[in-house]
Amino acid sequence: MVTETKRRSQPSRRAKKKKKIGISKRFAQIARITFSVLLIAAVLFGGGFFVYSVATIPPYDPGKLDFDATSKVYDINGELIANLHGEENRTPVSLDRIPWELQKAVLAMEDNRFYEHHGFDFRGITRALFRTLTGRRLEGGSTITNQVAKMAFLVEDRKLSRKIQEVFVSLRLEKDYTKDEILEFYLNRLFMGGSAYGMQEAAMYYFGKDVSELNLAESAMLAGIIPAPNYYSPYVSMERAKSKQKETLNNMVRFGYISEEERQAALEQPIVLANRSQKNKTNASSYFVSYVRDQVIKILQDKGYSLREAQQEVFTGGLTINTTLDLRMQRAAEQGMEEILNRYLVSKLANKEERNAQGILQPQSAVILLDVKTGGVRAMIGGREPANDKHNRAVQLLKQQPGSAIKPLTVFGPAIESGKFTAASIIVDEPIYENGPENPPYPVNYSGTYAGPVTLRYAIQQSLNVPAWKIGKENGITSMIEFAKRLGITTLVEKPIDGHDDRNLAALAIGGLTHGVIPIEMAQAFSAIANKGVLNETFTISSIIDSRGQVIYEYRPQQKVVLSEEVAFILNSLLENPVNHGTASSVRSLGGYHGPAAGKTGTTSYNREVWFAGYTPDIAAAIYIGHDSNTTGYKAGDGGYGRLLPEGSSSYITSAMFGKIMSNIYAQMPAPTEFYSSMPENVVKLAIDRKTGLLAGPDCPGENIIEEYFIVGTEPQEVCSAHSQPVLPEEPIEEPGDEISPEEPGLEDPQQPLDPDDANPGEDEPNIEPNG
């Protein structure tokens, strides 16, 4: 009984087994449910992630693959001056300009089956995976289409979502574009090291040639450095670059693009890298290009662009900007300026590295050259340190006082045009007292001496202040201002500013202007004289072409007649004298130029600033040297600073610079032989006595007789008789009504300063210039 009870209380083996099976079934069911849930969750998540990835693919314009392109600035002969670009320096080219060898070299290294697959190369992915897993070589499986998808439309990262997006974008690219279009975009978009993007800039950067000129050896090297251009760059390591070149050539043989013989010949061909020295670079890349850049932006704004749009178009729009600059003249100007400055000025300075409070090297200099016939800027130098200095003194007003360089535009030009004076007019160079008899003579000549009776020609030749003052006083302030403005001078102040204006002889006769002048305007004014009285508007841009080859701007010449041909002829003849015999003779003696030239020097008081403004038959120039302010340089006689050299005038430096620049230019191109082949019809040439200004008589000494030009109707009618018989002085007879009032029209009373220091409105000293 007890035994039976025990048996009943203990489960049978069968029951235990049955129970164990039941538990296993429940676990299996739970596992199956769990797995199903996880599977469903994974599918839902994966599907959702997939849908999300596809849905977040960035939109793209199916009409055109696009990218930023570098704008190019060219000189008048088609030589590249500079690139204007943002972060990427790129010049897109069509596929047909890229050599076959370079195309195949890139395919051999990046995607040999490019023309066979449809965006994804599964065979290539499998091969790359196998080689990577077996440790034979780390290899990527991306096709060129995949890389274009990443370049153009996707964010560069390693997320799975980006890989999914890459698949779909690649498929869309293959659908919307031809293989050649995709390859063209790829070859133009690649980063190739340094500042070069795309194969055109890479060819220029590494080999200094157009991409179409690359040979097989160079093409293989460029294709080889694509994975890491800064690491494999031949500028960094020619050994690494040659290794990648060899690998590329081996692949090209392997895929049947070239023969073994071609491979061997390419390996043996020397690689000649571009000359990246500073030897042939010019300051134009700073001063002129900055000026042109601003001009292009203004032109685009005039066409309706906003400022931001115009700037973006300049730096990323791939514009072709054709300019008037002649790089041959630019280099000649830079070399001439540096040589003359170093020889005649810098070498004599006690402090050759003096800088002002802004850290700018002093003294400074500027040069502008214009084409006489068109007004196009042929050369521009805005200062001595383009890398550190943003002031373009050639085109910006920095209160550069002109001294006597202004006289042809305010004194002698108006005098000849008025008919009151001729080149033979006699003016007495003597002490005058414009500040009153109780004060010292004013104005005075730079030398402090006087020449007595002189012709107008001699006065301009020797840059005499007293005759200039007298001529201006008789001719009138109004005509002086009107003449200068007509020839393009815009800085004259006619209404008082802080008590100063330029309606006075101190400003107009000897160059003490309130705001000074701008070199480009001085060159323009003198070019009108050289161009027979025709004034051309100055310009720097001849045309602008957009990335599609459409001309969006073309300069239309603007010129006007500002002088009669006979007045221009007489002025030109007068301005030859300073160069041939007077204050600008260093054009010949120090500058070495012996062709036809005319011009005028200018020196401000205490030798603070010096000028030369003049021309040849082809080229007009304005050259300036001076301190940016009176805080640097040698101490002057008025207690301030700014003097260029301790003693004397320095205007011979600017005229020597002009001569040297012209010598450099005409060593490279045909030199002109004369200004005029014949006289204008309304001009006559007569023999006169230079002491009296009258027609030469039979008794005039030979040394007194010179030939002079006259506008018909202004020539002297009286024959000189001073040497044939004694001439007794006659008492002047005053007829009633002959008194001349200062208020008479054309003879305005000039503003007479109380002392010489007030003769230079707006400046610290009078602007009295003599020998220059």
Question: Could you list the active site residues?
Answer: 110, 404
Annotate 712-750 with DSSP letters as a single string. TT-S--SBP-TTTS--------PPTT----TTSTT-PPP
CA distances from 84 to 66, 72, 198, 440 (A): 18, 6, 16, 58
Annotate 623-648 with DSSP letters as a single string. EEEE-SSTTSSBPPTTS---BSSSSS
CA distances from 162 to 54, 59, 61, 117 (A): 9, 14, 19, 21
CA torsion, points 292, 298, 302, 305, in degrees to nearest 10?
110
Residue type, 758: D
For residue 40, list its beta bridge partners.
none
Rounded-to-integer distance, Cα 87 and Cα 64, Å: 22
Rounded-to-integer distance, Cα 324 and Cα 342, Å: 29
For residue 336, list its beta bridge partners.
none
Other residues' Cβ atoms within 10 Å of the Cβ of residue 117: 18
Q: Which residues contact 145 (CB under 8 A, 6 or more apart)?
A: 111, 114, 117, 119, 120, 170, 173, 174, 182
Q: Which of 547, 546, 405 is nearest to 484 (CA)?
A: 405
The values of phi and psi at residue 366, to 5°, are: -145, 145
Q: Which residues contact 175 (CB under 8 A, 6 or more apart)?
A: none
Distance between start and end Cα atoms, the chain? 149
Q: DSSP code of 409?
A: I
Other residues' Cβ atoms within 10 Å of the Cβ of residue 247: 15
Q: Which 3 state secondary structure label does DSSP give 260?
A: helix
| Per-residue three-class SS string for 179-224 | HHHHHHHHHHHCECCCCEEHHHHHHHHHHCCCHHHCCHHHHHHHHH
Tokens 């574009």 sit on residue: 177
Q: Which 3 state secondary structure label does DSSP give 75?
A: coil
Per-residue tokens: 415? 């005098």
Per-residue tokens: 66? 């696009």
Q: What is the largest CA-CA distance in the chain?
A: 187
Rounded-to-integer distance, Cα 442 and Cα 146, Å: 83
Q: Which of 539, 544, 572 is nearest to 374 (CA)?
A: 539
Q: Where are the beta strands (DSSP E) in 85-170?
A: 89-90
Q: DSSP code of 135?
A: T
Task: Label residue 417 left, alpha or beta by phi (over 0 means left) and psi (-120 to 50 means alpha).
Answer: alpha
Other residues' Cβ atoms within 10 Å of the Cβ of residue 75: 22
Tokens 């571009």 sit on residue: 274
